[in-house]
Amino acid sequence: MDYGKSGAAKGAKNTPRHSEHNAKGSDKNPYNKQTSKAELLQRMKAAAEKQKKD
């Protein structure tokens, strides 16, 4: 008996099990969108402040 041929077929390799809600190329995160340096610094400072409070 060839046990390798029994059972369910293997899934495709290197494919995600689900799609991310903010994947590149989606409506929330388009490919051509670039965040400005000022926005990035603002988010980093806000995260640092939140970290200090906790």
Instruction: Round to whole Å and give the CA distance between 27 and 17.
Output: 20
For residue 30, what pLDDT is reported?
Answer: 81
34 within a domain of the structure (yes/no): yes
At 43, the pLDDT band (50, 70, 90 cuts) reads very high
4 within a domain of the structure (yes/no): no
- Residue 30 belongs to domain spanning: 23-54
39 within a domain of the structure (yes/no): yes
For residue 54, what pLDDT is reported?
Answer: 76
What mean pLDDT do residues 34-50 have?
91
- 3-class DSSP assignment, residue 38: helix
5 within a domain of the structure (yes/no): no
How many domains does the structure of the chain reveal?
1
Tell which phi-psi region holds residue 34, choosing left (phi > 0), alpha (psi between -120 and 50) or beta: beta
Q: What is the pLDDT of residues 12-32, one digit of tens each?
A: 788 778 888 878 888 877 888
pLDDT for 2 beyond 90: no
For residue 1, what pLDDT is reported?
Answer: 62
